[in-house]
Structure 1
Amino acid sequence: MPFVQIKKQYLAFAMLLFVALFLFNSRPAFQCQYTTEMPVSYLPTIYGITPTYARLAQKADLTRLSQTLMLVKNFHWIVIEDSETKTPLVANLLKESTLKYTHLNAKTHKSKQSTEMDVNICVFKLDSYFTRWYCASGVEQRNEALNWLRNHLSSATDKRGVVYFMDDDNTYSLKVFDEMRKIKNKVGVWPVGIVGGMRVEMPLVTDGKVSGYNAVWKPFRPFPIDMAGFAINATLFLDHPEAKFSRKVQSGFQESEILKYFATKDDLEPLAENCTKVYVWHTRTQKPSILDPKKLKHPPLPDGHIEV
């Protein structure tokens, strides 16, 4: 066979091979996508309940917290103002946050008795190196949020989720939200840093079960843990419509007041690696010290038109 004819045969074969490879590699991508697509994992909704009240650091605290919550998937923020009406400051902050939220308001009922005599509301409590009177806060606000939650869940198709009571000036690691999604039945618990006069207040765990509590402030409380140290299966609030906080309970006992409806110590589910990791801290914003412009030699320009 002549060399030229052999060369043409190889060239024709090479072209056919090239065309075949081209057509194979240019197939529409959607033809094989279904084989590599991974199923999406279900994430229970976290309902974060945050009472808040007007003060100079309110916007700063809510801004910091909201920007943490923006990183949490499937989160619904319920913010309740201690106010007769909803304020523009909180309303605008929530609107600009891009979070899924519900904005409520409920005014705290003030006692006519003196703080020292009203033992049902206030309690003498150790705080760092001195003692002071503490009054139960956020009672009406949290109860208003629970009313909304029950109405919402009763009409929702998916009633699953967890409820977490969050102070607006606490510090939260993203890991604490991952932990509370692991709740299987009733109530999940974990340590809280810088609370109750301790570096860390935490449940004690033996063989995977809560066996006691590491707390020094009134350790005889039914549940001597901080509000930031537990989350509750949302469906339990439908099972127990009577569950709420009480103005007749002292500060520091509100945690026990709400948990008594849902669980005993044996029902608590220790999370955060058997309560050995701290993912939330009971921090407090220090009250700002603002100078009185009237007492300054050179008072600053008026700034009442600026929201701080």
Structure 2
Amino acid sequence: MASGLAALLDDVAGIAKIAAASVDDVAGAAGKAGSKAVGVVVDDAAVTPGYAMGFTPDRELPIVWKIAMGSLRNKFLFLLPGALALSAFAPWLVTPLLMLGGSYLTFEASEKILEVFLPHEAGDDEDDLALSSTELEAEKVAGAIRTDLILSAEIMFIALADVAARPLAIQAAALALVGLLLTIGVYGVVGLLVKMDDIGLHLAQRRTRAARALGRGLVRAMPPVLAGLSTIGTAAMLWVGGGILVHGLEHFGWNAIPHLVEGLSHWAGQVPGVGEITGWIGFAAGSALVGLAVGAVIVGVLHLVHKIGPAKAH
């Protein structure tokens, strides 16, 4: 009886060791995969606050919550099963899909840059004014979830590319962990950003001089911070999307553009003491230029199609 109990305990201990090793594998794979997607995460965190701005303070966090729930649905109902199916049945499709998503990011960024230099069409503003606040909120949330779908797809496929050699169960657990933690992180930061001015107003009404000074500083700082985040988000779209395209071209053996970008990175990395940092900046800048070129072409083609369509109708 005692020997049977000892054998059972040995079996339980063995199972526990296997489970612990699996947890370590999942955590390690998730950490490595998630670090590769950091650029898209920065982009996501920088872009999303704009969708919750312009509403009354009591609606800001509910809007962020709706977008976060939409992001989780995107990841767990569509992207995770799709990524695992690709890994199992069509791994050759991962790189082309990554490049397609990267092209979309460069298009979004290039269009934002174009809007800075060209007069803004009043039609969009008039359409927004014609909507009720409920309809406008629903439209903004839907737009944010669509954008998140692209960014989440990039995150999941970047993560998948890094764990593709692992067993399918480890892939699934790692992708689920990456998706959950990054969603919590991104939308936690977004929620904090959109409420920072309200926190500042609350502090500005406190009795202590230090709290009032901090509150006023937060209120004054938030508009330039949000404007800066918008700029960072646009830049991140360019260098992340361009970097995906550069790696995709290299994957397919089209090495001319990747060699130019890598050459720029190598040249920038010659600075003594900070070579790794300047080398990364050089690669990001080269990737952003590639992204800007591709995005500008896409924007130009779509604007041309948009102009030709009405002309044919007439």
What TM-score do you get using the length of structure 2 for normalisation?
0.23
Larger RCO (CA within 8 A; separation ≥ 6) = 2
Q: Which has the higher helix share?
A: 2
Q: Which has the higher strand share?
A: 1
What TM-score do you get using the length of structure 1 for normalisation?
0.23
Higher Rg: 1
